Amino acid sequence: MFERRRCHFTHIFELFFRFIYVILVMAFTIAFNIVGDVASKEDLMNDIKGASGVVMSSGMLTFLIVIGTVLLVSLIMLLYCAFKWRYTFVSAEENTLIYESGRFLRKRVAIPFEKINTIDMGRNLFERMVGTCRLKIDTGAYSTKQEKNTAEMNLVFSLKEAEEIRAFILGRAELDSRAEEAETGKAAVEAREPNWVIRTGMSDFVLYGLTSSSVWKLFWIVVAGFFFVVEIAQGFLEEALDYLLPYIERVTDVIAGTNIVLIILGMLLFYLVSALISDIWTVIWAAIRFADFRVAREGRNVIVRYGLITVKNYTLQVRNIHALVIKQNVFQQMLGRCSVEAVCMGFGDEKTETALLLPIIRTADLNRLLGVILPEYVTEMNVRPRNKAGIYYHIVRPVVCWGAVLGGLCVACRAFAGVSPLVDALAIIAFAAAIGKGVLSYRNTALDWNDNVVSVQRGGFKKVAYRIRTDAVQEVQLKTNVIKKCFGVGSYYVHFHGPRLNNTSVSRNISDRFFADLAETVED
């Protein structure tokens, strides 16, 4: 048990700064609505001059009115925030956390400890300077309007108090989940440092920065290399047909003397410099964001902590982790690296929340590391025999469609603007990218399941794999049509319980003969 207490007084200022944009808009709106009327009244201007003895221009009067309005509105909002803080309390009664707020319109929320899904302890730069910590407690409940509520409690405490409350909640939740230990009546467990089993190092940040860049890098490499090869090949073939091997040197001189070579070299230099700057910045950003990244498994909870300026420290209950999401962009696929996120009730439903478990690891080490923190999700993705008809849907059809569109554009350009090597080159690059994406899409599409986990995988240049807890799957659908049914393919939709209203993983255009077995496994 702990007695009724208020959060830290700096919560007043954090509440106030949430309204800063509203305050400024309101103040400037009021000021500019009255300043024109005031400035146009000469009698009032003369009264001001007589009272203060100062000759005041309309511009100075406007400035003073704006400043005065901002200060007045800010003072009112600050008093409101202080009043709200004054009547906000947190306490514990029996098996329940009590959150109270308001004086005239009182709100009292009772949160059973065993229903608390996540405890998020975050610290921004200001909170680290003053020694406080934002404590967010969420049950993952939905409102009657089918919209996700915000966290049931989102307050600022001193760091010591936040750690004590977190330890108390985890201790009571553990006791309440065990009926045989309920009679012990233990108080809050002592706050202690978790036993961190996974940590990241500088090499991880460097690798994360080098592989987190978008596909534009690869695109520019292909573009620059293509133009370079095209120009060399064009000049080489023209000269080689006339002079053959004895005149290779002359061909090289001709190519080196053309302006297009200088342009291509300039493009290559620009790309290399921009790519280097981008990589350096991404590495620095990753080192700041994920500094001292560490993960621990404490009983039925997974604890994650990271950050240099803004520190993230969240606790996820294993029973509320319903899926893992394994992501790889095209560079990470080439290097055999991936990142892992958790789909957890009560965390990740806000845009700024991501339940990150592992920022970047070797794909080959995934099961080994999960065996330490989440052995419930250890599984081998056994790619079931693919229906070769999937090649048509993943590769042939998209490539043909792209070829028709790009070919039409090239013909149109030739008809209206004549021969355009640039358009032809871009069309060829786009066509090659479509082929590459189709091949990757076919290779990355997979489906597997066992009694514990359903694995769904898809993606081309961006590969995403879901490992969904079998008992969290709510529904399995197989969508097909007359043509696909003839070829024996369909798209699998696995709907599962998660923090958002629509939590679905999709694996498209694979054999439809697995559906009965998958549905039976999920039902059991």
Give every CB contact of residue 388 below 8 A, 6+ residues apart in sequence.
none
Summarize pLDDT for 429-462 with one digit per residue, the tens: 888 888 989 999 998 888 888 888 999 999 888 8
Residue range 395-404: average pLDDT?
Answer: 89
Summarize pLDDT for 290-329 with one digit per residue, the tens: 888 899 888 888 888 888 888 888 888 888 889 999 999 8
Residue range 127-155: average pLDDT?
Answer: 71
317-350 burial, b for 16+ CB within 10 Å, e for fewer? bbebbbbbbbebbbbbbeeebbbbbbbbbbbbbe
Residue range 66-94: average pLDDT?
Answer: 84
* pLDDT score recorded for residue 522: 85
Map 349-361 to HEC letters.
Answer: CCCCCCCEEEEEE
* pLDDT score recorded for residue 215: 43
* pLDDT score recorded for residue 188: 43
Summarize pLDDT for 43-73 with one digit per residue, the tens: 555 665 555 555 556 666 667 777 777 788 8
Strand partners, 199: 294
Residue range 204-226: average pLDDT?
Answer: 61
Radius of gyration of the chain measured on its C-alpha atoms: 31
Residue range 204-216: average pLDDT?
Answer: 66
Residue range 84-89: average pLDDT?
Answer: 88
- Check residue 476 and give left, alpha or beta (phi > 0: left; psi -120 to 50: alpha): beta
Q: How far is it, in rounded angstroms, from Cα 114 to Cα 488?
A: 46
| Helix segments in 177-327, DSSP class H | 202-211, 216-243, 248-256, 259-289
* pLDDT score recorded for residue 213: 56
Q: Is pLDDT above 90 for 467?
A: yes
What's the mean per-residue pLDDT of the chain? 76
Beta-strand pair 311-317/118-123: antiparallel
Alpha carbon 4 to chain centroid, angstroms: 36
Confidence class of residue 146 from pLDDT cuts 50, 70 and 90?
A: very low
* pLDDT score recorded for residue 184: 44
Residue range 345-358: average pLDDT?
Answer: 71
Confidence class of residue 410 from pLDDT cuts 50, 70 and 90?
A: confident
Q: How far is it, in rounded angstroms, from Cα 314 to Cα 339?
A: 18
Q: Is pLDDT above 90 for 409?
A: no
Question: Which of 146-150, 174-178, 491-495 is the most confident on average?
Answer: 491-495
Integer angstrom CA distances of residue 113 from 48, 110, 149, 177, 194: 63, 9, 18, 9, 20
Rounded (5°) CA angle 370-374-379: 60
